């Protein structure tokens, strides 16, 4: 129950607004103006069986997509997605991928990570969820977005 | 929260995804012997530097998993791009490392 509440809380609070710039600009007259707030959020999909991988490689794989969206252009975005499997004991990491900071696609208002997956070894039912976090440069400052959980933990026919 | 993967990815994203996963398959077929040799060597643990046309990459294997990184523009540090869990089964380890090699080279080629 605690874990559920923790996830729910993380999803709600982090989906609304993550980055709030604390800097202020001094105007020529000496007054202090607050610049528009930098608002970013990460959206993480639930774990699913990838149709693209099945189609192109003929293999079953569990996949989680995520995107980082901001109201200002981001650059050097490292959006990391982790796939966790639930089982006996604590959930354990099965795969993680990050966008490359220097990649031309790792900038702009929206950056996606659509290549995080783990191949299934068999069709044993297993429960998975995704967690995403990001690091980016926005208006010359470095920001870190804390981890955001996928909404649901889903049981898939995929043993890893 | 998107329930349907199709709501999340645009037509362009899906097209990119298809070429990326198809390239991995093609690289695995084309380089199977080289990948398997390298995977067998790395299976017990270790690192290998891959000097690819688009950059320098590093494959690292330990008891728990296999990761790959690319050298950053400063030429000093590597950024971790991917990691997969490995089992203790030797054959499964080699297969997973082979997959990681194909994936790493696909990302280098497709600039991802």
Nearest to A56 among B1, B18, B72 (CB): B18
- Total domains, chain A: 1
Element (H, E) at B42: helix B32-42
A29-33, A60-64, A124-128: least confident range: A29-33
- In a 3-state reduction of DSSP, which class is residue A3? helix
Asked whether the beta carbons of residue B79 and residue A100 sit closer than 8 angstroms, the reply is: yes
Residue A31 has a pLDDT of 59
Q: Does A52 touch chain B (CB under 8 A)?
A: yes
Q: DSSP assignment of A48-112, as one string? A: EE-HHHHHHHS--EEEEEEEEEEEEEEEEEEEEEEEEEE-SSS-EEEEEEE--TTSTTS-EEEEE
ipTM of the complex: 0.92
Mutant choice from B8, B72, B92, B99 vs A, greatest count of A C-beta within 10 A: B8
State residue A137 phi and psi, 5-degree precision: -105, 125
Mean pLDDT of the region A109-138: 97
Distance CA A132, CA A110 (A): 14
Residues A143-152: tens digit of each pLDDT? 999 999 999 9
Q: Is the pLDDT of residue A11 over 90?
A: no
Chain B's closest residue to A94, CA to CA, is: B85
Mean pLDDT of the region A102-117: 95
Residue A61's DSSP bridge partners are A119
Residue A32's DSSP bridge partners are A26
Q: Please give the biggest Cα pair distance in chain B.
A: 43
Residue A87 distance to chain B (closest CA, Å): 15
Half-sphere exposure of B99 (CA within 13 A, CB side): 24
Residue B109 distance to chain A (closest CA, Å): 12
Sorted by sequence, the CB contacts under 8 Å of residue A63 that are 6+ apart come out as A47, A48, A49, A50, A53, A83, A116, A117, B5
Residue B3 has a pLDDT of 46
- Could you list the residue range(s) of the whole structural domain that residue A123 is in? 2-159
Sign of CA dihedral A58, B33, B108, A80: positive
Q: Is the pLDDT of residue A32 over 70?
A: no
CATH number at residue A7: 2.70.50
What average pLDDT does the structure give for chain A? 84
Q: Is the pLDDT of residue A4 over 50?
A: no
Strand pairing class (A108-119; A32-33): unpaired
Q: Is the pLDDT of residue A5 over 60?
A: no
Mean pLDDT of the region A121-134: 97
Mutant choice from A11, A12, A46, A56 vs B, greatest count of B C-beta within 10 A: A56
Asked whether the beta carbons of residue A98 and residue B80 sit closer than 8 angstroms, the reply is: yes
**Of all residues in chain A, what percent carry a pLDDT higher than 70?**
80
For chain B, residues with pLDDT lower than 50 are 1-3
Residue A20 has a pLDDT of 37
Cα of first residue to Cα of last residue in chain B, in angstroms, is 25
Say which residue, B110 or A63, is predicted with more confidence. Answer: A63
Residues B20-36: tens digit of each pLDDT? 999 999 999 999 999 99
Say which residue, A29 or A88, is predicted with more confidence. Answer: A88
Here the tokens at position A136 are: 């980016």
Confidence of residue A3 (pLDDT cuts 50, 70, 90): very low
């Amino acid at each position: 129950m605690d874990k559920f509440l923790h996830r729910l809380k993380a999803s709600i609070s982090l989906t609304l607004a993550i980055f709030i710039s604390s800097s202020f600009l001094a105007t020529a007259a000496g007054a202090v103006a607050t610049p528009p707030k930098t608002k970013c959020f990460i959206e993480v999909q639930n774990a699913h069986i990838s149709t693209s991988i099945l189609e192109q490689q003929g293999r079953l794989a569990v996949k989680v997509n995520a995107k980082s969206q901001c109201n200002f252009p981001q650059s050097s975005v490292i959006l990391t997605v982790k796939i966790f499997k639930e089982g006996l004991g604590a959930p354990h990491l099965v795969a993680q991928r990050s966008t490359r900071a220097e990649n031309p696609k790792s900038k702009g208002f929206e950056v996606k990570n659509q290549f995080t997956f783990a191949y299934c070894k068999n069709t044993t039912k297993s429960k998975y969820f995704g967690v995403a976090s990001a690091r980016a440069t926005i208006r010359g400052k470095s920001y870190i977005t804390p981890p955001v959980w996928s909404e649901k933990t889903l049981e898939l026919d995929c043993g890893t | 929260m998107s329930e349907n993967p199709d709501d999340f990815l645009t037509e362009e994203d899906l097209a990119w995804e298809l070429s990326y996963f198809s390239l991995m398959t093609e690289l695995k077929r084309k380089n199977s012997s080289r990948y398997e040799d390298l995977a067998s060597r790395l299976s017990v643990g270790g690192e290998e530097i891959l000097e690819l046309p688009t950059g320098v990459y590093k494959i690292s294997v330990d008891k728990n998993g296999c990761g790959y990184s690319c050298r950053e523009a400063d030429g000093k540090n590597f950024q971790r791009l991917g990691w997969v869990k490995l089992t203790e089964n030797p054959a499964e380890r080699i297969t997973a490392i082979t997959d990681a090699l194909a994936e790493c080279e696909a990302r280098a080629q497709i600039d991802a």
